[in-house]
C-alpha cells in the first residue's frame, strides 16, 4: 500500500485523463464514422444501454479496489443472480425473484467477505476460488439450460422499458453512478474505504473497523454484480450460465482506465462510468468501422493499453 | 468446430438425435441429418443463383452484417466463404462481430450492426433460448436473417428467417466410421468416446459413427464406451480403455480437442498400436497422422461452403426467392493421403506448413 497522504478530493491528473481520452476517441469516431451511423441518437443510446451492467459492476469494483482488495468472482455472480431470479420468477411474483437474485449476491459477498476479513485470506485467492466454484454452481443449477423470463413488468424495469422516454438501463446507470459517487465522496463509509486502501494500519489505528469494511466492500461488489445479472436477464428475457463470464476484465479495465488504482487508495466512480462508456464506445465504433474481428481485438487492445498507460503514469508518484 | 462451437447447440430441443442404433437397424442410408426443428436437409451446393438473379442482386446494392458466436478456425472458414460469395454477388459486408459465446454481447453486436442498416445478417445464435430478444431489433429494422446451425426459439422459417445453413452431421460421423473401417481392414476392437450431453450436433455425429461401425463392418466391435463432458478428461478415459482392453485397435473421439488428449495418453504409454479417429481439423492431430502415428483419419465438414451457401441463400432471400429451410454442407474424411485436398475442401486453404504436404 502506498504512503500517499489522504488528500484526493482535489484534482488529480489521473482522474481527468480519462475524460480527455474519452473525448478524443469520441471525436475520432465522430469524424471517421460520420456516415456510418455512429452519431445517430439511437446508436449513442445503445452504447449507454449496452454498458449499463458493466457500469453497475464497475461502481462496486471502485470500492473494492480502493480498499486494497479485489473481487474476481463478479462474473460468476452475474450468472448466479440472473439464474436464481429467473428460476424463482417461474413460480413467484417478480419482486420475489429480484429479492432472491440480490439475496444470492449478498450471500456470496458475505461468504467472500468473511473469509477475507475474519479468516484473513487474501481476497484475490478467495474470490478466484469462488469464481470457479460459482461458475460450476451456475452450470449445475439449471443443467446448462437457459431459463426464460416472461414477466413483462420485470423485463420493462430491468431491460427494455422506459420512464418518461428514458430507457430503464440508462436510468439504472444514472442512479447507480449518482448513489455510488455520493457514498464514495460524501459518507464516512467512502472515506474509510479510501483510508483503508491508502494505509490499513493507519486506518485501524484511527479507529476504523477495517475487517467490517472489507466485508462491506465485498458484499457491495457482489450485490452490484447481482444487479448487473438482473439487468442482463431483463434485457435478454432470460438467464443463462454464460452471462457475465467475460465481464470481469472489462470491468477492471473500465475502472482502471477511469482512474482507480489497482493497489488501492485512489478511485473515482464517475471515472469508472467514463471508462465503461469508453469500452462500449470502442466496441461499437470498431464494429461500425467494418474491421474484421481480429483487427477489432488488436485495435481495442492497443487503445486500452494507451489509456491505461496514461492513467497509471499520472497516478504514480 | 471447437468444443465451444459444439456447446452452442446445447440448448437445442431434446430428442432430435437419431434413435439409438441397433444391430437390426434398417439400411443406414435411411438416416439423414435433421435440422433443429426436424427439417430434412437439402444439399447446400444446390443453392445457386441464375445469371438473371445475380444481376438482380447486384442491382439491389445490398449490404450484409456477419454476427458470429465466436472466432475459431471453423468460424473463420464460414466467414471467409460468406465474404467471398458476397463479393461475387456485389453485396458489401459492412460489419463483422464476435460474441465470445456471450448472448448479451451478441445482442449488443446485432444492435451495433443495425446502425449500418444492413439488408441481411448472417449469424450463429449463441443461445437459442434467449436469442429471440437478440434478433428482434433486426426483424424490427427489416433486415433479413440467415442462420448457421440453429435458430432463435419460436422464430418461423420463411417469416422470420430465410434458412439455416449447417454441416451434414450424419455424413461426418459416417465418414469417420468408414475411414476407420478402411484403416483397420474391416476388423478389430474399438473404444468409443462420445459427447455425454444433449447437443444435437455431437449426438448426431457420434451416433452416426457408431451405426456405421455396427452396420457396415460386421467384424469390428465396440468393446468400450464412455461419455465425455470435459475434454481434458479424455486422457483418463483413454488410459482406462487401454488398461481394460489390452490390444485395443482403435479409439473414436467425439471431437478434436479431447482427441489431442487421447493422443497424449497413448504417446505417454508408448502405445503405437491403438489408432485414433476423430472429427474436426486440428494441426497437432494432422501432424501425427502425416507422420504415421496413432491418428488414421479426421472427418471434417466443409465449413467454407457453409458460408458460401449462407451467402447465396441470403441473396435469394433478398430478391424474394424462397430457399429450402435447412441446407447441409458435405463432409470429408481426411487421411494421410489427402491432407492437402481435405484441408482445402473444409477450410478453403492449404494445411499448415508444419504438415509438409503443400
pLDDT in tens, A282-303: 999 998 888 888 888 899 999 8
**Residue B31 — very low, low, confident or very high, per pLDDT cuts 50/70/90?**
low
- Predicted local distance difference test score (pLDDT) of residue A34: 87
Q: Return the bridge partners of A163, or none.
A: A166
CA distance A188 to chain B (A): 36
Tell me the C-alpha distance between A251 and A71, whole Å: 11
The mean pLDDT of chain A is 90
Contact B109 A287 (CB under 8 A): yes
Which among B71, B103, B115 is the nearest to A236, CB-wise? B103
Contact A236 B71 (CB under 8 A): no
| Cβ atoms B222, B210 nearer than 8 A | yes
Strands (E) across chain B are located at 42-43, 63-68, 92-98, 120-123, 144-148, 164-167, 187-195, 219-228, 250-253, 275-279, 295-301, 326-329, 331-334
CA distance A130 to chain B (A): 20
Looking at the complex, does the CB of residue B117 fall below 8 Å from at least one CB of chain A?
yes
The grid cell for B70 is: 465466436
Which among B96, B115, B126 is the nearest to A293, CB-wise? B96
Which residue, among A32, A75, A225, A240, would best test binding to B if mutated, counting the most B CBs under 10 Å from its CB?
A: A240
Tell me the C-alpha distance between A266 and A4, whole Å: 10
Residues in chain A closer than 8 A to B113 (CB atoms): 287
The parent domain of residue A56 ranges over 14-315
In degrees rounded to 5, what are phi and psi of residue B18?
A: -65, 155
Which among A37, A38, A236 is the nearest to B133, CB-wise? A236
Residue B308, pLDDT above cutoff 70: yes
| Cβ atoms A280, A50 nearer than 8 A | yes
The grid cell for B34 is: 435433421
Q: Return the bridge partners of B193, or none.
A: B226, B253
- Predicted local distance difference test score (pLDDT) of residue B42: 94
Which among B112, B117, B127 is the nearest to A287, CB-wise? B112
Closest residue on chain B to A234 (Cα): B133
pLDDT in tens, A112-131: 999 999 999 999 999 999 99
Looking at the complex, does the CB of residue A45 fall below 8 Å from at least one CB of chain B?
no
pLDDT in tens, B3-16: 445 444 443 333 33
Residue A16, pLDDT above cutoff 80: no
| Cβ atoms A222, A106 nearer than 8 A | yes
Which among B11, B116, B128 is the nearest to A36, CB-wise? B116
Residues in chain B closer than 8 A to A50 (CB atoms): 107-108, 111-112
The SS3 call for residue A31 is helix
Residue A23 forms part of a structural domain: yes
Residue A168, pLDDT above cutoff 50: yes
Looking at the complex, does the CB of residue B290 fall below 8 Å from at least one CB of chain A?
no
A300-314, B138-152, B235-249, B312-326: segment of lowest average pLDDT? A300-314
Residue A157: count other Cβ atoms within 10 Å of its Cβ: 20
Looking at the complex, does the CB of residue B97 fall below 8 Å from at least one CB of chain A?
yes
Contact A243 B95 (CB under 8 A): no
Looking at the complex, does the CB of residue B126 fall below 8 Å from at least one CB of chain A?
yes
Contact A235 B107 (CB under 8 A): yes
Taking residues A274-284, report their average pLDDT. Answer: 93
- Give Rg (Cα) of chain A: 19
**Residue A64 — very low, low, confident or very high, per pLDDT cuts 50/70/90?**
very high
pLDDT in tens, A233-244: 999 898 988 899
Is A20 or B138 the better-scoring residue by pLDDT? B138
Residue B158, pLDDT above cutoff 80: yes
Residue A2 forms part of a structural domain: no
Looking at the complex, does the CB of residue A42 fall below 8 Å from at least one CB of chain B?
yes
Residue B185, pLDDT above cutoff 60: yes
Which among B96, B115, B127 is the nearest to A146, CB-wise? B127
- How would DSSP label each residue in A120-161? ---HHHHHHHHHHHHHHHHHHHTTT--EE---HHHHIIIII-
Taking residues A146-168, report their average pLDDT. Answer: 90
Looking at the complex, does the CB of residue A283 fall below 8 Å from at least one CB of chain B?
yes
The grid cell for B8 is: 452452442
Contact B111 A50 (CB under 8 A): yes
Sequence-distant (≥ 6) Cβ neighbours of residue B184 within 8 angstroms: B220, B249, B250, B275
**Residue B307 — very low, low, confident or very high, per pLDDT cuts 50/70/90?**
very high
Residue A221 forms part of a structural domain: yes
Contact B104 A37 (CB under 8 A): no
Domain count, chain A: 1
Residue A8 forms part of a structural domain: no
- Predicted local distance difference test score (pLDDT) of residue B203: 87
CA distance B129 to chain A (A): 6
Residue A1 forms part of a structural domain: no
Contact A46 B100 (CB under 8 A): no
| Cβ atoms B18, B207 nearer than 8 A | yes
- Predicted local distance difference test score (pLDDT) of residue A304: 86
Find which of A225-229, A277-281, B229-233 is predicted with most confidence, using mean pLDDT. Answer: A225-229
Taking residues B276-303, report their average pLDDT. Answer: 94
The grid cell for B15 is: 430428442
The rounded percent of chain A whose pLDDT value lies above 70 is 93
Which among B104, B111, B129 is the nearest to A146, CB-wise? B129
The mean pLDDT of chain B is 88
Which residue, among A146, A228, A229, A237, would best test binding to B if mutated, counting the most B CBs under 10 Å from its CB?
A: A146
Residue A1, pLDDT above cutoff 60: no
Taking residues B306-335, report their average pLDDT. Answer: 96
CATH of the domain at A95: 1.10.3470
CA distance A238 to chain B (A): 6
Task: Give Cα separations from A158 to A61, A104, A119 (angstroms).
Answer: 21, 17, 36
Residues in chain A closer than 8 A to B133 (CB atoms): 235-238
Taking residues A201-205, report their average pLDDT. Answer: 93
Residue A270 forms part of a structural domain: yes
Which residue, among A234, A242, A286, would best test binding to B if mutated, counting the most B CBs under 10 Å from its CB?
A: A242
Domains of chain B: 42-167+303-330 (3.40.50.2300), 169-302+334-355 (3.40.50.2300)
Sequence-distant (≥ 6) Cβ neighbours of residue A144 within 8 angstroms: A241, B10, B11, B197
**Residue A213 — very low, low, confident or very high, per pLDDT cuts 50/70/90?**
very high
Contact A242 B103 (CB under 8 A): yes
The rounded percent of chain B whose pLDDT value lies above 90 is 69
In degrees rounded to 5, what are phi and psi of residue B329?
A: -85, 160
Residue A136 forms part of a structural domain: yes
**Residue A263 — very low, low, confident or very high, per pLDDT cuts 50/70/90?**
confident
A168-182, B47-61, B219-233: segment of lowest average pLDDT? B219-233
Contact A237 B132 (CB under 8 A): yes
Looking at the complex, does the CB of residue B130 fall below 8 Å from at least one CB of chain A?
yes
**Residue B333 — very low, low, confident or very high, per pLDDT cuts 50/70/90?**
very high
- Predicted local distance difference test score (pLDDT) of residue A11: 55
Tell me the C-alpha distance between A69 and A264, whole Å: 7
Contact A238 B68 (CB under 8 A): no
Looking at the complex, does the CB of residue B249 fall below 8 Å from at least one CB of chain A?
no
Taking residues A171-187, report their average pLDDT. Answer: 97
CA distance A304 to chain B (A): 18
Residue A184 forms part of a structural domain: yes
Residues in chain A closer than 8 A to B112 (CB atoms): 43, 46, 50, 283-284, 287-288
- Predicted local distance difference test score (pLDDT) of residue B298: 97
Residue B257, pLDDT above cutoff 90: no
Residues in chain B closer than 8 A to A242 (CB atoms): 101-103, 126-127
Residue B129, pLDDT above cutoff 90: no
Is A46 or B214 the better-scoring residue by pLDDT? B214
Taking residues A27-33, report their average pLDDT. Answer: 93
Amino acid at each position: 500500500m502506498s504512503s500517499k497522504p489522504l488528500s484526493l478530493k482535489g484534482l488529480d491528473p489521473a482522474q481527468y485523463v480519462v475524460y480527455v481520452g474519452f473525448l478524443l476517441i469520441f471525436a475520432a469516431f465522430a469524424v471517421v464514422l460520420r456516415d456510418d451511423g455512429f452519431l445517430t441518437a439511437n446508436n449513442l443510446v445503445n452504447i449507454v444501454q449496452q454498458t449499463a451492467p458493466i457500469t453497475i459492476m464497475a461502481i462496486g469494483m471502485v470500492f473494492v479496489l480502493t480498499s486494497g482488495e479485489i473481487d474476481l468472482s463478479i462474473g460468476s455472480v452475474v450468472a448466479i443472480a440472473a439464474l436464481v431470479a429467473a428460476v424463482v420468477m417461474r413460480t413467484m411474483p417478480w419482486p420475489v425473484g429480484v429479492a432472491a437474485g440480490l439475496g444470492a449476491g449478498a450471500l456470496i459477498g458475505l461468504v467472500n467477505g468473511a473469509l477475507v476479513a475474519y479468516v484473513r485470506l487474501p481476497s484475490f485467492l478467495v474470490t478466484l476460488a469462488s469464481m470457479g466454484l460459482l461458475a460450476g454452481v451456475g452450470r449445475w443449477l439449471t443443467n446448462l439450460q437457459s431459463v426464460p423470463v416472461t414477466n413483462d413488468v420485470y423485463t420493462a424495469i430491468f431491460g427494455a422499458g422506459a420512464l418518461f422516454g428514458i430507457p430503464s438501463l440508462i436510468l439504472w446507470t444514472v442512479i447507480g453512478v449518482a448513489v455510488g459517487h455520493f457514498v464514495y465522496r460524501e459518507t464516512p463509509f467512502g472515506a474509510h474505504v479510501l483510508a483503508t486502501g491508502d494505509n490499513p494500519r493507519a486506518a485501524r489505528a484511527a479507529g476504523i473497523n477495517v475487517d467490517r469494511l472489507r466485508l462491506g466492500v465485498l458484499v457491495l461488489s457482489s450485490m452490484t454484480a447481482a444487479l448487473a445479472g438482473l439487468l442482463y436477464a431483463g434485457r435478454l428475457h432470460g438467464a443463462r450460465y454464460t452471462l457475465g463470464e467475460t465481464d470481469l476484465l472489462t470491468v477492471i479495465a473500465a475502472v482502471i482506465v477511469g482512474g482507480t488504482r489497482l493497489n488501492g487508495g485512489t478511485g473515482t466512480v464517475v471515472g469508472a462510468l467514463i471508462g465503461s462508456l469508453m469500452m462500449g464506445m470502442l466496441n461499437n465504433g470498431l464494429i461500425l468501422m467494418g474491421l474484421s474481428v481480429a483487427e477489432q481485438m488488436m485495435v481495442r487492445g492497443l487503445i486500452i493499453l494507451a489509456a491505461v498507460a496514461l492513467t497509471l503514469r499520472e497516478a504514480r508518484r | 468446430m471447437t468444443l465451444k462451437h459444439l456447446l452452442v447447440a446445447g440448448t437445442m430441443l431434446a430428442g432430435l438425435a437419431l434413435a439409438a442404433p441397433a444391430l437390426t437397424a434398417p439400411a443406414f442410408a435411411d438416416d439423414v441429418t435433421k435440422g433443429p426443428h426436424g427439417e430434412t436437409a437439402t444439399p447446400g451446393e444446390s443453392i445457386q443463383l441464375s445469371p438473371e438473379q445475380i444481376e438482380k442482386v447486384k442491382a439491389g446494392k445490398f449490404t450484409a452484417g456477419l454476427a458470429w458466436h465466436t472466432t475459431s478456425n471453423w468460424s473463420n472458414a464460414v466467414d471467409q466463404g460468406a465474404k467471398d460469395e458476397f463479393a461475387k454477388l456485389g453485396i458489401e459486408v459492412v460489419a463483422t462481430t464476435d460474441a465470445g459465446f456471450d448472448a448479451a454481447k451478441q445482442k449488443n453486436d446485432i444492435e451495433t450492426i443495425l446502425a449500418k442498416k444492413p439488408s441481411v445478417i448472417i449469424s450463429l445464435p449463441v443461445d437459442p433460448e434467449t436469442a429471440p430478444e437478440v434478433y428482434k431489433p433486426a426483424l424490427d429494422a427489416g433486415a433479413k436473417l440467415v442462420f448457421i446451425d440453429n435458430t432463435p426459439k419460436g422464430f418461423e422459417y420463411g417469416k422470420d428467417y430465410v434458412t439455416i445453413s449447417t454441416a451434414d452431421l450424419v455424413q461426418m460421423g459416417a465418414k469417420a466410421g468408414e475411414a476407420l473401417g478402411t484403416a483397420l481392414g474391416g476388423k478389430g476392437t474399438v473404444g468409443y468416446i462420445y459427447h455425454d450431453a444433449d447437443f444435437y450436433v455431437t449426438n448426431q455425429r457420434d451416433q452416426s459413427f457408431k451405426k456405421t461401425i455396427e452396420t457396415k463392418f460386421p467384424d469390428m466391435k465396440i468393446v468400450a464406451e464412455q461419455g465425455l463432458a470435459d475434454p481434458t478428461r479424455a486422457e483418463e478415459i483413454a488410459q482406462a480403455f487401454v488398461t481394460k482392453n489390452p490390444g485395443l485397435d482403435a479409439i473414436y473421439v467425439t471431437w478434436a480437442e479431447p482427441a489431442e488428449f487421447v493422443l497424449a495418453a497413448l504417446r505417454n504409454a508408448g502405445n503405437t498400436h491403438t489408432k485414433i479417429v476423430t472429427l474436426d481439423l486440428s494441426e497437432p492431430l494432422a501432424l501425427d497422422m502425416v507422420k504415421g502415428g496413432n491418428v488414421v483419419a479426421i472427418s471434417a465438414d466443409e465449413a467454407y461452403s457453409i458460408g458460401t451457401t449462407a451467402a447465396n441463400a441470403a441473396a435469394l432471400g433478398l430478391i424474394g426467392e424462397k430457399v429450402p429451410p435447412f441446407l447441409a454442407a458435405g463432409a470429408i474424411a481426411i487421411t494421410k493421403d489427402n491432407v492437402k485436398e481435405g484441408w482445402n475442401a473444409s477450410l478453403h486453404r492449404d494445411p499448415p506448413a508444419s504438415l509438409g504436404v503443400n
